[in-house]
Amino acid sequence: MIAIGSDHGGYELKKEIIKHLAQRGIECKDFGTDSTASCDYPVYGKAVANAVAKGECEKGILICGTGIGISMTANKIKGIRCALCHDCFSAEATRLHNNANILAMGGRVVGAGLALKIVDTFLDTPFSNDERHIRRISQIESE
């Protein structure tokens, strides 16, 4: 199950992603927002991040206008590694190296065609499980 959320700046792209996930047979849980009316991105960033951190959803996708505010919010939640990606190379690398569990994008930055490729790359790339990457990820969490 994929958790997905956006603010008004990411709402239109979120709808495209939900349709794409359904076409791929991937289930998702939409945490809002439900329109293009102005709203506060931290509400949706926290809802998706908490669902992933608690293990209710395996991964998450977050979209705001730039992807910046919503990724900053998600990364405040313990256990969340949210990666802001606007290219497929970064989406692949953050799965292989960082075991990122949330993908963030900016709905005002990328078009739907590229965004859907980024989503596919993110969801289809496994963590490398390399010792050096496991070590570095544990260093992110330590004080």
Instruction: Tell me: does residue 9 bind ligand RB5 (CB under 6 A).
Output: yes
Question: Distance between alpha carbon 58 and the CA centroid of its chain, in Å?
Answer: 11
State in angstroms the smallest separation of the CB of 15 from ligand RB5: 15
Known active-site residue 20: no
Both structure tokens of 26: 């991937």
Q: What is the DSSP letter of 143?
A: -
State in angstroms the smallest separation of the CB of 37 from ligand RB5: 12
> Site for ligand RB5 (CB under 6 A): which residue of 7, 14, 95, 105?
7
Instruction: Tell me: does residue 75 bind ligand RB5 (CB under 6 A).
Output: no
Instruction: Tell me: does residue 41 bind ligand RB5 (CB under 6 A).
Output: yes
Torsion of Cα atoms, 19 then 74 then 43 then 1, to 10°: 40
> Site for ligand RB5 (CB under 6 A): which residue of 28, 57, 64, 104?
64
Both structure tokens of 85: 């990606």
* Coil, strand or helix at 89: helix
Q: What is the DSSP letter of 47?
A: H
Report the alpha-carbon distance of residue 37 to residue 11 in Å, rounded. 9
Query: Which of the residues 28, 39, 57, 64 is marked catalytic?
Result: 64
Known active-site residue 64: yes
The binding site for ligand RB5 (CB under 6 A) comprises 7, 9, 41, 64-66, 68-69
So which residues are the catalytic ones?
64, 97
